[in-house]
Amino acid sequence: MSLDQETFELLKASVQRFVQERLVPAEDLVEERDDIPEDIVADMKELGLYGLSIPEEYGGIGLNMEQECQVAFELGQTALAFRSLVGTNIGIGSQGILMDGTPEQKENYLPRIASGDLVVSFALTEPDAGSDAASLKTRAVADGDDYVITGTKRFITNAPRAGAFTLMARTGGPGAGGISAFIVPAGLPGLTLGKPDKKMGQRGTRTCDVNLDEVRVPAANIIGGEPGKGFKTAMKVLDRGRLHISAIACGMAQRILQESIAYAQQRKQFGQRIGDFQLVQAMLADSQAELLAGWSMVQAVARRYDAKPFGVHDPEVSMQASCTKMFTTEMVGRVADRGVQVHGGSGYISEFKVERFYRDVRLLRLYEGTTQIQQLVIGKHLMR
Ligand code: COS
Determine the atom of ligand 1 nearest the C-alpha atom of 233.
Answer: 2
Name the packing angle between helices 371-382 and 315-343 (round to 10°): 140
- pLDDT for the residue numbered 119: 98
Please tell me the distance from the alpha carbon of residue 373 to that of residue 31, in angstroms, as a whole number.
30
Is the separation of the CB atoms in 139 and 149 below 8 Å?
yes
Which parts of the chain sit beneath pLDDT 50? Answer: none
> How far apart are the CA of 232 and the centre of ligand 1, in A?
7
> How far apart are the CA of 96 and the centre of ligand 1, in A?
14
> How far apart are the CA of 381 and the centre of ligand 1, in A?
12
The neighbour count for residue 25, using CB atoms within 10 Å, is: 10
Is the separation of the CB atoms in 185 and 215 below 8 Å?
no
Tell me whether the CATH fold assigned to 120-225 matches the one assigned to 231-382. no
Name the packing angle between helices 315-343 and 230-266 (round to 10°): 30
Domain segments of the chain as ranges: 5-115, 120-225, 231-382
Task: Indicate yes or no: pTM above 0.75.
Answer: yes
CATH architecture of 231-382: Up-down Bundle (1.20)
Rg (CA), the chain: 21
Residue ranges lining ligand 1, Cβ < 6 Å: 124-125, 131, 133-134, 176, 231-232, 235-236, 238-239, 313, 318, 367-369, 373, 376-377
Please tell me the distance from the alpha carbon of residue 187 to that of residue 321, in angstroms, as a whole number.
35
Q: CATH classification of 120-225, choosing from 1.10.1740.10, 2.40.110.10, 1.10.940.10, 3.30.1540.10?
A: 2.40.110.10
Determine the atom of ligand 1 nearest the C-alpha atom of 242.
Answer: 44
Please tell me the distance from the alpha carbon of residue 356 to that of residue 346, in angstroms, as a whole number.
12
- Sequence-separated (6 or more) residues with CB below 8 Å from residue 241: 91, 92, 95, 368
Positions annotated as catalytic residues are: 368
Single-letter amino acid code for the residue at 332: V
Is the separation of the CB atoms in 369 and 322 below 8 Å?
yes
Q: For ligand 1, atom 49, name the residue with the nearest CA.
A: 368
What digits encode the pLDDT tens for the residues 102-154? 999 999 999 999 999 999 999 999 999 999 999 999 999 999 999 999 999 99
Fold type of domain 5-115: Butyryl-Coa Dehydrogenase, subunit A; domain 1 (1.10.540)
Give DSSP secondary structure letters for 168-199: EEE-SSSSGGGEEEEEEETT-TTEEE-PPPP-
> How far apart are the CA of 368 and the centre of ligand 1, in A?
12
Is the separation of the CB atoms in 91 and 245 below 8 Å?
no
User: Would you say how long the chain is, in residues?
Assistant: 384
Please tell me the distance from the alpha carbon of residue 127 to that of residue 136, in angstroms, as a whole number.
9
Please tell me the distance from the alpha carbon of residue 263 to that of residue 197, in angstroms, as a whole number.
33
Q: For ligand 1, atom 23, name the residue with the nearest CA.
A: 176
- pLDDT for the residue numbered 1: 80
Is the separation of the CB atoms in 326 and 243 below 8 Å?
no
- Partnered with residue 142 across adjacent β-strands are 147
